[in-house]
Structure 1
Amino acid sequence: MQIIRGLCNLKSDFPNSVVTIGNFDGVHRGHQMILEHVEHLAQAKHLRSVVITFEPQPEEFFQQDCPARLTRFREKWQRLSQYKIDDLLVVRFNTRMANLSAEMFLEDLLIRKLHVQYLVIGDDFHFGQKRIGNFAYLERMSKKYGFEVESFQALKLHDERISSTRIRLLLAQGEMDAAAELLGHSYSMWGRVIHGQELGRNLGFPTANVYLHRYKTPLLGVYAVLINGLQKMAIPGIANIGTRPTANGNTLLLEVHLFDFDQQ
């Protein structure tokens, strides 16, 4: 998967494409269904497959106190990379993008730049200024511009929609198994190990301090965890997700004690 950062980096001779658009926060089972369809459709029609996502997410642009993400961008990209998608187009969501009409978004980006032949969206997808663009709008415009549009109904489990919002709520309630069922995988967080104050080591419980690169997290507290990347097999441990005061305010930190692991 190639990452294209910004519309300015799109080539003028971009090939005809199959496109899907969304936040894909968490890359849950509903997202996975759409991604698999885009992948198969592009292969069957010999077209380029493109996922469009926004940074920051529109909700983050419009709301200062918006909910925490399930996945930051790098985590999302790693999940998306598991699919045979050709391009991940990252569009900066700013005032200009927020004020762009649905017609201009469609004509300038999807038609003129990406040469869209098939557009695959979720049933709750809206775009353009004041969220005017929706499936009904795209159906009308598809006849004018000669592309096909498909809307996927939200995947349901136990008669409830699978959504990032629902997963976020389950995580906050400590319902890890239920969240994993909707995600299609156990919830994970990635970060960089940083040097700590060695307070745990002095007490006989050394911890790895992982900087999460987040302002918010969907869960706080103490959890049983599995750590990947240090050995061939995952290492069990116990982790605390919380904040630590710093010169720049409170920093989110994941502190992990690994069982039966004594390497530096």
Structure 2
Amino acid sequence: MKKSSSILVNKNTITSIAIGGFDGMHGAHQKLFEQLDENGAILSIESGYANLTPKRYRQEYSKYPIYYYVLDNIKHLEGNAFIKLLNEEYPNLQKIVVGFDFCFGKGRKYCVKQLKELFHGEVVVLDEVKIDDIAVHSRIIRNYLKDGDIKTANILLTKEYKIYGKQIKGQGLGSTNFVPTINLYVEEFLLPNEGVYVTKTILNDTEYDSVTFLGHRVTTDGSYAIETHIFDKNIVNKDYSIQIKFFDKLRDNAKFDSFEELKEQIFRDIDEAKEYFK
């Protein structure tokens, strides 16, 4: 999916807002957004720790405009001052939607009870969302990604986990000794743990089946790399906008005794990934 630009809306028209951190724009977040009316908006409180779906990538996952507030700029406010700020920013605000564990203001001492007392409008509070008996929280999704459990992370995200990167020059071994790969430099995004993954690689707006390696190249130069191989194509280096969508993990990173053993394993990885997409 193409990354959307921010939606510009006159704040005077906004009648409902969802407030939260919204890193990941995951399944529980989407439940919050379902409670917004047609003139809704999303207020994302930025703590600086978002790495599942960093700030500028979130608009892709919602039809509602997203407004960003830096936590350090508002965390000193008492509860009534926070509500006053919302009413000034959105003068026709009638509804606020939050999660069950929402807290705000100085020392996070104001929570759902105080929100209902202070805001003279409708307050909708969603219970904890579970999928397959797993509570859906960004911190839990991060743990699954760090463990390489892409399938569970995707279930909680209700979409494939995706990163954006820039193409960089690799070792040059792929096209000559192994298979051609695109090497990526990735900032901002949390990377799954080291290993080989079934993926789709998006170059500009075109999506290809692929297999992707993340980790230290322990058999060759030992450096950390993100390398993706697109099946049956030799993509010439260009200034692509690159996205990687993760579907499943094939294996952990491993050291091989020879280039030949590594090459044989790479071909097995490719065959297994192709079978996945069949």
TM-score with structure 2 length normalisation?
0.71
Is 1:22–1:52's contact at 8 Å kept on the other side of the alignment? yes
1:157 equivalent in structure 2: 131
- Correspondence for 1:114 among 87, 90, 95: 90
CA distance change for structure 1 residues 21 and 231 in 2, over 3 Å: closer, same or farther?
Answer: closer
SS of residue paired to 1:205: coil
- Correspondence for 1:15 among 3, 13, 16: 13
- Correspondence for 2:214 among 223, 232, 241: 241
Q: String of CA shifts for 1:54-94, please: whole Å, max 9, x gaps.
A: 3344xx3xxxxxxx7222223322222xx3x1x21111233
Instruction: Give the Cα–Cα distance (whole angstroms) in 2 for the partners of residues 220 and 52 of structure 1.
Output: 34
Structure possessing the higher radius of gyration over alpha carbons: 2
Greater CA drift, 219-228 or 130-139: 219-228
1:64 equivalent in structure 2: none
CA distance change for structure 1 residues 153 and 252 in 2, over 3 Å: closer, same or farther?
Answer: farther
SS of residue paired to 1:189: strand
Instruction: Give the Cα–Cα distance (whole angstroms) in 2 for the partners of residues 36 and 252 of structure 1.
Output: 41
Is 2:148–2:194's contact at 8 Å kept on the other side of the alignment? no
SS of residue paired to 2:34: helix
Q: Unaligned regions of 5+ residues in structure 2, if any?
A: 218-222, 237-278
Which residue identity is paired with 1:239? T
CA distance change for structure 1 residues 70 and 240 in 2, over 3 Å: closer, same or farther?
Answer: same
Number of residue-to-residue matches in the alignment: 227
2:275 equivalent in structure 1: none
How far did residue 218 of structure 1 move? 4.6
1:55 equivalent in structure 2: 46
Q: String of CA shifts for 1:197-254, please: whole Å, max 9, x gaps.
A: 423233232211222222753533321212134685x42222122479xxxxxx9753
CA RMSD of aligned residues (A): 2.8
SS of residue paired to 1:222: strand
Query: How do 1:24-103 and structure 2 match up within 5 A?
Result: 24-38=22-36, 42-43=37-38, 48-57=39-48, 60=49, 69-80=51-62, 83=63, 85=64, 87-94=65-72, 96-103=73-80
SS of residue paired to 1:241: strand
1:65 equivalent in structure 2: none
Instruction: Give the Cα–Cα distance (whole angstroms) in 2 for the partners of residues 73 and 253 of structure 1.
Output: 24
How far did residue 128 of structure 1 move? 1.0
Instruction: Give the Cα–Cα distance (whole angstroms) in 1 for the partners of residues 225 and 76 of structure 2.
Output: 36
How far did residue 167 of structure 1 move? 1.5
1:141 equivalent in structure 2: 118
Q: Unaligned regions of 5+ residues in structure 1, if any?
A: 61-67, 245-250
SS of residue paired to 2:22: coil
Which residue identity is paired with 2:22? F
Residue 151 of structure 2 is aligned to residue 177 of structure 1:
yes
Is 1:216–1:252's contact at 8 Å kept on the other side of the alignment? no
Instruction: Give the Cα–Cα distance (whole angstroms) in 2 for the partners of residues 187 and 238 of structure 1.
Output: 14
Q: String of CA shifts for 1:126-173, please: whole Å, max 9, x gaps.
A: 11111122110011113xxx3111100121123332111222222222
Which residue identity is paired with 1:28? H
Which residue identity is paired with 2:145? L
